[in-house]
Structure 1
Amino acid sequence: MNTATIAGSLLMALISQSRVQAQDPYPPGELGKTVRLGETLVRETNTHPLTKPYVGNVLQCTSCHLDAGRDLKAASFIGVASVYPAYSPRESAVITLEDRILNCFIRSQNGKRPPNGSQVSVAIAAYITWLSKDVPIQMNPKAPLGPNSLRPLKEPAVRPDLARGKSLYADRCSACHSDDGSGSDDGPPVWGHNSFNDGAGLSKVPKMASWLKVAMPPGEADLKIQEAFDIAAFVNSHDRPRFQQPINAKPQRNK
């Protein structure tokens, strides 16, 4: 093999490697494996062996944080890590990103809080931090909300109406979430024992309406503000699990 042939082979190898790297934006080595695991856990929260023991319903993180938190409009993870540590009014304490992630398990997942520092905790935090890698750090002294957090809607002048919400739900939502809210292969349950509990943010009508306005129906998200509030009121008029504060739910700090 002559020098020109060797040089050509090396050049082709370098080009091939650069193409692979361009297609694989994750960090290299063990960190990249952990980031990938975090994304997998976000997408398979209720079925993955690592997270399943801590989940009490059939939801995944990506049920609310669409496209595993990559969707900039619907409760995006992008930039979230940049605001932590942050003050949390709900916890009356300064919390870490890990704290915020783990508390979702006892509210939105209606389950148990995984231990701080566990493989679950570290992997999901690593994934969210990786998604936030280009966002400047600016800790939030008021609330644990990132730069792409859900923007709250101003409540309409006309109060939400359950009858209108029921009709809109049947027309715009039931095909994916079923008439009885129990969900299907196309959409998660939105009330009942397999849904989030009443301690989750989406159990509040204004939060639910704000999320519906930017996220639903998938690929359209064309609800009017009044329609979003009507559907949110109807959905949240149904029973769902009660939130019970676990003893170990709040972050433990040395005094």
Structure 2
Amino acid sequence: MKGLIFNELGLCLKKRNLYLFFMIQLVIILSIVNVYNNSKEGIIEVTRIDGFLGVCGGSNRIFLLGPYVQWILKVSIIFIICEDVMGFKEGFDAMMLTRVESKIKWWLGKVITIFIIVLSYSILICIEGDILSMIVLGKANYISQYTRCYYPNILNFNNSFLMLKFTVFIILTTGVFAVVTLINSIGILFNSNRSHLFIMILLLILEVAYNSKLISRMFSPISFASTLDLNGGLKEYVSQIMFNIFISFISILTSIFLLLKKDLK
């Protein structure tokens, strides 16, 4: 299994993904700059936690084009990197299937690889977002005027800021993983790697519809990774995390079921 995972991770070591890595750095910086500029325009105080939420918190129902596009870009970049592992590549995967002699083991190797990629980028986004927020906005952590104006749902969170950051990280990780596994299972259903792109476009349309209050949150998978549009109570955060895990579990089981019915060789 280790060899299979390392081989899958090796597929991601390409020039395109290096460009995507630097692109996500740029998006993180732009998110911090956006928070800073918004505070200056409104002449309101802003703190480190505001910058962190601007980078990692996701989409807010208070629509602002800049933060919204930056959030979509972060999720999309992670998906594009994971796309190297998703689906069936005739030469490479046929060889891997021959070696492991088990569709389930082969597919679980892909799933674990995808989780490693999602986890790594979630850690990167959260740590880098927190450090840059501290550098640009200062070390102070408290409910500021900016929080009350742009992140009103956070006011309902009664635990420590450390707990808030950890919760945001878990929702981001489980949410993106749920989206990727969902797209992957649908791609297997249509038996085409190209379907991944069309599914992602559909999910982006659903996210716009959700942000425009045309559909509920559960019909917009990209919002699964978002914290800012939740009501802010720890109970609701935990419910979202459990929902993300449930979607991932169902998607993985569905993928395995579909794979066992297909002849990939």
The TM-score by the shorter chain falls in which range? under 0.3
Structure holding more helix per residue: 2
- State TM-score, norm by structure 2: 0.27
- State TM-score, norm by structure 1: 0.28
